[in-house]
A = this chain, B = another copy of it.
Amino acid sequence: MVSMKKIKLIKKLAKEEGVSYAFFLRNYKKGQIAILKNKKSKRKAVAVGKGLSVKINANIGASPLMSDLKKELKKLSIAQKYGADTVMDLTCGANTKKILREVLKNAQIPVGTVPVYEVFSRFEKPTPSDFLSVIEEHLAMGVDFITVHCGVRREVLKRMKKKKRTAGIVSRGGGLLLGWMAKTGKENPLFEYYDRLLEIAKKYDAVLSLGDGLRPGAISDANDWFQLFELKMLGKLAKRAWEKGVEVMIEGPGHIPLNQIEKVVRDEKSLCHGAPFYVLGPLPTDIAAGFDHITSAIGGALAGMYGADFLCYVTPAEHLDLPEPEDVKIGVIASKIAAHIADIARGRKQSIERDLALSEARFNLDWKKMKKHLLVPEVISDEKLNRKTCTMCGEFCPIAKTIKIIKNYEKTK
């Protein structure tokens, strides 16, 4: 049963996306489209999934070694300025709630969190009910979607002893949960109390982003037992969520060679029954630290073309440090480029038309119109608005030549 309020929202979102209401509703009901919006939130709703434009998320948030509320709010405002569709506040260490409260207050777009970070920041020896209470606290504050690493099961610990991975576990949440399971001897509480988790999510109309705690952190770990074990598990959990009327997304890798990205997307779509796919990267090489926004834009564009629905940005700081505001800007832009390229490759009319409008302006050497259609308009400064050719070619400008040739031809005939 879809509420009247939701029906109204779906009509609005379908229009924004340029798809029919019937198409949107059908896929929403099947779970293949998710709407990121907590019942309590007054922020913009964002939809991800089948037939919609590819969305991007920007991670912000402090860490124990770098914690500064002002800086995090600056990152938020930059992420929004450059076009992030959502943000996740990944703060861990002290002040998690304080920062989250301010992020929720200042954001105009959906906000996600990974509640286990706060669990492990606050409690030395968290109990299963601590996990559930922190989750409910976040959703009660208005968080729109949460990453829950429900697929990281106890048997993974045994397998870790037998089968070594190059890069082990690179998911912060996955690592924390495995540590907890190893210490307590218990099953992952996010799996064990999944039904309770679904009830809480339902209560707030929040989306569960089923986390990839076992994603490969090196291309040599790509598509290994761990990754596929978890993906299959998430497929089962997605079905259980849908049965309870809870929306989910599936999180995906990670470090994947370019030639295996198609397989990763196809696997997710088949093993997880078409649930929206939210990828971190993928990064098709391990050696490009400092420039992994480029690496991940390459992987993300390809994943998007094959059907990934939601790209988590990667900043130049990835693998080195917590991102600074400037890194957030570059990360968002790189990710927007990847998403737009994927939209074009998927045949999205509005995206193709935008490129056409830009190129028509470019052919007319009309810098004002170019600026209007550019992804990052600020790259054309005001002083450049009235020039004709650029400094690349000057009088040798091929576009100016073409215009002249065509004009002369028209005169002679």
Residue positions of A touching B, CB distance < 8 A: 63-66, 92-93, 117, 120, 157, 160-161, 166-172, 174-176, 178-179, 182, 217-221, 255, 257-259, 284-291, 293-295, 297-298, 301-302, 305, 317-322, 333-334, 337-338, 340-342, 344-346, 352, 354-356, 358-360, 362-363, 370, 373-376, 378-380, 384, 390-399, 401-406, 408-410, 413
Contact = CB atoms under 8 A, between A and B. Distances in A.
A393 B172 contact: yes
Contacts of A117: 396
A175 B258 contact: no
The count of identical subunits is 2
Nearest to A213: B398
Contact of A379 (B289, B352, B375): B289
B394 A63 contact: yes
Contact of A345 (B157, B179, B259, B360): B259
A391 B176 contact: no
Q: Which are the 6 A-B pairs with shortest beta-carbon distances?
A: A175-B398, A290-B379, A218-B359, A168-B402, A175-B401, A64-B394
A377 to B, nearest CB: 9
B65 A285 contact: no
B406 A321 contact: no
A363 B338 CA distance: 28
Nearest to A381: B320
Contacts of A217: 359, 362-363, 399
Given A160-B406, A288-B337, A294-B333, 12 more contacts: A92-B393, A92-B394, A166-B360, A169-B402, A175-B396, A182-B409, A217-B363, A218-B363, A220-B352, A220-B359, A287-B358, A320-B390
B375 A408 contact: no
B284 A344 contact: yes
A289 B334 CA distance: 12
Contact of A320 (B175, B334, B379): B379
28 contacts: A63-B391, A63-B393, A65-B394, A120-B396, A157-B405, A161-B413, A167-B363, A168-B402, A175-B396, A175-B405, A217-B363, A218-B359, A219-B355, A220-B356, A258-B342, A259-B346, A284-B341, A286-B362, A287-B375, A288-B337, A289-B376, A289-B379, A291-B337, A291-B375, A297-B297, A297-B298, A298-B338, A322-B392
A168 B404 CA distance: 11
Contacts of A360: 166
